[in-house]
Structure 1
Amino acid sequence: MSDTPPPEPKQPGHRALRRADARREQKVARTSGARVRRVLKRVSVVVVVLALILGGVFAYFYKHLEGNINQLSVSDALGKRPDKVGSGGPLNVLVMGSDTRKGQGKAVKGSTPGLSDTTILLHLSANRKRAYGISIPRDAMVERPSCQRKDGKGSDPGGLTQFNAAYAVGGPACTIKTVESISDVYIDHFVVIDFNGFRTMVDALGGVQVCVPEKVDDDIGDIHLRKGTYNVTGEQALDYVRVRHALSTNGDIGRMRRQQTFVAAMISKAVSAGTLANPVKLVRFLNAATNALTTDPGFAKLSDLASLGSSLKNIGLGNVQFLTVPFQEYAPDPNRVELSPDADEVFKRIRNDQPLSRSTSEEAVKASDSTPSTGRKGPAVGKARSAVDVAAAAGRDRLEKVEEQTQQKQQRAEDNGLCA
C-alpha cells in the first residue's frame, strides 16, 4: 500500500464562491420577499377591515345623528316667500323653545310654561365673523298677522295680542310670520328645542356653571336652587332658566337675561377643548343636541350644519352676543311691554348685516364672558375703586360717571336675578 496521503479536496475558486453567494442571496431574497409580501398582505387586509369598520361606524353615527333631527315643513303655512338670490350671505335663524315633542319624554314639572315662551332671533353675518341673538319678550304686545292654526282648523285673523300667542296659535310658522311682520327681517331657517333635549345637552357637557345670587324656593313651579356658584345638572339648568319671579324683580325680562347668560356659558363649554378633544363627550353632546332639534327640511341636513359650523370656526366667542330687543312699558297694561322705537335700529342693523351699535353691544352678554361671578360684591366694588385712580386725572365728573355706571350694572344684575 502506498503511504501517499489522499489529495485534499479542491477548493472552489473566487468565481465559484461569488456564484454560490449570489445564489444564496437570491434564495434569501425570494424567501424574504415572500415573507414581506405576506406581511404586507395581512397589514393591508387589517387596514381595509379597520377602514370598513371605522367608515361603517362613521356612517352609522352620521345617519344616526341626522336621523335624530325632526323635520317640520312650514312652507304651506307661510305661503309665498321672497326669493333669496345666491348663497353665502347673512343668515337669520329663529330659535324657539317647546315643552316636549309629542309622545317623547315626560312632562315638565310645575305649571310654568318655561322655554315654550323663549324666542331668539339669531343673526349670522355674511362673513361669519359676528353672531348675535335677539330675545323677544313673551309679554310684548304686537300686531300678529293672520296665521293657519296648528291644529289644522282653519286660520286665525290675528290682531293686537301678546307675542307668545303666536306659537300657541300656529306653532313655528305663525311665530316666524309674526317676527317678520314686526321686524321686516327675513327668516331663513327655524329651530325648535324641546325641554328634554335641553336637559340632556347640559348633562352631556358634564354640567354648566351658573351663579345663583340667592336661594330659590318656588313652590308654584316646583323649582328649588341653592345659592352660590356651581355646575348645574340638566334638571337644575332647566329650573334656572325657567324661574320667573323667585329671582328677578322684573319677571320675564330677568328670565330672558338669565337664559342669554346661560346659553352663552353653554356655547363656551361646548366649544372648549375639554369637549372637542373628548370623543365620548362630543358624541354624547351631538347625540343630545340633534335629538333636541326640530327644524325646517332645508336646515336638517347634517352636512349643511357641519358646513355652517366650519364657517364659524374662527368667529371667536367675543363676537357671539345675546341681548333683548329694546322695549318699553305698555301703557294700557303695566304687566305687558311693547317694542320701543330703538328696536327699529336693531332690526335695521340685522337687515343691513351690520354690527350692533356700541351702546347696544355694551349691554349684550358675550359667550366669552362664560364664567359667572361668585355673587360677592367685592369684585365689582374693586373695579370701581381701581377706576377711581384712573379717573382721578380726568376729574371728579368722570369718577362719578364710572361709579354711576357700576351701580347701574349692579342694579340691573340684581333685577335680572344674576350675580352682581
Structure 2
Amino acid sequence: MDDDQSPSTERPAPRPGRRRRISPERRSRRTVWRVVLITQLCLALLTAGTVAVAYDRLDSGLDVQDIEDQLMDRPEKKEVEGPQEPLNILVLGTDDRGCEGCGIDGEAGGGGSDTTLLIHVSADRKEAYGVSLPRDALVTRPDCMAEDGSTIPGAELAMFNTAFAEGGAACTVQTLEQLTGVLIDHYVTVDFNGFVDMVDAVGGVEVCLPKEVADPKTKIYLDAGTQVLDGEDALKYVRERSVLSANSDIGRMKRQQAFIASMVNKVVSAGTLTRPDRVYSFLKAATGSLTLDAELDSLGSLADLALQFRQTGLSDIKFISVPFEAYEPDPNRLVWTDEADKLWTRIKRDKPLSSTLKEGSINAADPVGGTATPSASPSEAPDEPSTGATKEPQAPTEEEQAEALANGLCA
C-alpha cells in the first residue's frame, strides 16, 4: 500500500449463511405489534359490517311520501347571500290515537296534528329558530289536492290543524305556503307511537315543573322542580293540556317548545352522539315513527342534513310561537296578528328574529332554567334584529312568572 493511499472503510461482506441475531425482547415486541394490528383490522372489518347491516336495516324502515305533485301555486324562494340556501322544515306531530296512552287528554281522534313547528335554518347554518303554530288558530284554508288528484275544498275560519285531518301533510304544506308565502323545503311527520322509545334512547329528557302534579285521571305523577322524564312520562308531558298548564293549548305548545329544546340540548351536549348504542336505539325508534318527504328518503340524506347543523350553537337555537291573539267571537279560538306578517317576511329574507319576536323565546342552551328572553330595550326598534350586545341576566317579573306558571313552566 502506498503511503498516500487511505485504508478502505468499507465493511467486509458477511460470510455466506450468517444471519443477524434478534434479541428475544425485540422479537416479542414485533409479535405484540403484529397481533395488535391484526386485531385492529379484524375489529374494523367487524364494526364496518355491523354498521352496514344496522344501516340497511334502519334505512329500510323509513316511510317516505312524495307530495310534490299535490302542491299547487308554490311561492318562489327569495335569493339570499350565504354559502348555502336557507332551509324551512315543517315538523308535524300526528294526533293519532293508535298508540296506548296517546289520548290521555280525552281529545277526539281524527288523525289531525296538534303539534306543528316550522323550523328556519339560516343560509350560513349558524342560527335556527322554530315557530310553533297553534292548532286552534282560525285561518283561511285553501283548496288542496288529494292523493288521487281530487280537490279538497278550502274553508274560511277553519282551525289550522284541520288541514292535516282533511289532506295530510300535503294540505298542511299547501295551507302554510299560501298563508305565509314561505316555501317549505322539507317536511317530517312524527308519530307518537315511537316517541316513547326515542326519549328512552337518549336516556330521558330534563324538564322543570313549577309545582307537583298528581292526577289519577290522567295518571300523571310528577314532582316539582327539575327532573328527567322517561319516555312514558315525557309523552304525557307533551300531550296533556289541562292538568299541567292552565293555558290549555297555549301552555301545551310552550311545554312542547321547552321539551324539544331540552332534547336538542341533551343530544348535542350530553355525549349522546358518542354513544353508538344510544344513537342506534334513537335511530331505530325514529325510523319507525317518521314520515319524510322524497328528498329525505334515506339515513344518508338525514345524516347530510344533520351535519349542516354542526356550526349551529345551542344558544343560537330558539323556539317561539307565531304572534297570535284570542278570536273575539270565541275566546277558545285564536287568530294570527299583524306581527305574524313581519315574522314571515324575516323568514323569507333569511333574517334573524327581531328583539320583539324573541321575547319569551325558549333557548336550547338553557331550556329548563331560562325560558324567557329579556325584553328589548327602548332604544331598539321593535321590528329590527338585536344589536348582539350582551345583556345582564334579569330576574323574571311578576307578570313573566305568572305566565310561566300558567304554561306549566319554571320561570
Both proteins in one fold, TM over 0.5: yes
Give the alignment partner of residue 62 of structure 1, picking from 55, 65, 68.
Answer: 55
* Equivalent pair of 2:258/2:368 in contact (CA under 8 Å): no
Q: In the alignment, is the contact (CA less than 8 A) between 1:99 and 1:113 conserved in 2?
A: no
CA RMSD, Structure 1 to Structure 2 (Å):
3.5
Structure 1 match to 2:66: 73
In 1, distance between residues paired with 2:132 and 2:337?
14
Q: Name the counterpart of 1:15.
A: none
What's 1:168 paired with? 165
Partners of 1:177 and 1:327 in 2: how far apart? 21
Give the Å deviation of 1:85. Answer: 9.5
Does the residue aligned with 1:363 lie in a helix, a strand or coil? coil
Per-residue CA deviation, residues 64-97 of structure 1 (Å, 9 max, x unaligned), is: 2322321111123224656769993000000001
Contact 1:92 1:187 in 2 (8 A): yes
Whole-Å separation in 2 of the counterparts to 1:38 and 1:229: 55
Cα deviation digits, residues 154-187 of structure 1 (max 9, x gap): 4321121111111110010111111111111000
Q: Decide whether the 8 Å contact of 2:113 with 2:135 is kept in 1.
A: no
1:87-121 CA-partner distances (Å, limit 9, x unpaired): 9300000000114597xx54624333699310000
Q: Does 1:95 align with 2:91?
A: yes
Is 118-127 or 211-220 further displaced after alignment?
Answer: 211-220
Alpha-carbon distance in 2 for matches of 1:262, 1:36? 54
- 8 Å contact from structure 2 (residues 215, 243) kept in 1: yes
**Structure 2 length-normalised TM:** 0.80
Displacement after TM superposition at 1:40 (Å): 9.4
Match of 1:112 in 2: 107
Whole-angstrom distance in 2 between the partners of 1:315 and 1:410? 30
Counterpart code for 1:56: G
Shift of 1:348: 0.6
1:94 is matched by which residue type in structure 2?
Answer: L
Structure 1: gaps (5+ residues): 1-17, 384-401
Secondary structure at the aligned position of 1:271 is classed as helix
Structure 1 36/302 Cα, relative in aligned 2: closer, same or farther at 3 Å? same
Normalising by structure 1, what TM-score? 0.78
Identity of aligned residues (%): 43
Cα distance between partner residues in 2 of 1:193 and 1:214? 29
2:335 is paired with a residue of what secondary structure?
Answer: strand
1:95 aligned partner, one-letter code = V
Structure 2 counterpart of 1:250: 247
Q: Is 2:232 aligned against 1:235? A: yes
- Across the two proteins, how many residue pairs are aligned to each other? 372
Do the aligned residues in 2 keep the contact of 1:135 with 1:323 (CA within 8 Å)?
yes
Q: Residues 23 and 71 (structure 1 numbering): CA distance in 2 closer, same or farther, change over 3 Å?
A: same
Aligned partner of 1:323 in structure 2 is 320
- Measured after TM superposition, the shift of residue 220 of structure 1 is 6.0
Q: Distance in 2 between matches of 1:306 and 1:138?
A: 30
Q: 1:156 aligns with which of 141, 152, 155?
A: 152
* Between 167-176 and 93-102, the greater mean CA deviation after superposition: 93-102
- CA distance in 2 between partners of 1:40 and 1:278 (Å): 28
Larger Rg: 1
**In the TM superposition, what is the alpha-carbon distance from 1:351 to its structure 2 partner?**
0.4
The answer to whether residue 407 in structure 2 is matched with residue 416 in structure 1 is: yes
* Mean CA deviation greater in 269-278 or 49-58: 49-58
1:190 pairs with one of 187, 196, 206: 187
Structure 2 residue 13 is the aligned partner of structure 1 residue 25: no
Query: Residue deviations 1:185-244, cap 9 Å, x none?
Result: 000110011112211111111111112223335566554434332111111011111111
Partner Cα distance (1:355, 1:206) in 2: 32
Aligned to 2:360, which of 359, 363, 376? 363
CA distance in 2, matches of 1:268, 1:251: 26
Q: Which residue of 2 aligns with 1:353?
A: 350
Structure 2 distance, partners of 1:155, 1:218, is 44
Would the aligned equivalents of 2:194 and 2:289 in 1 still touch at CA under 8 Å?
yes
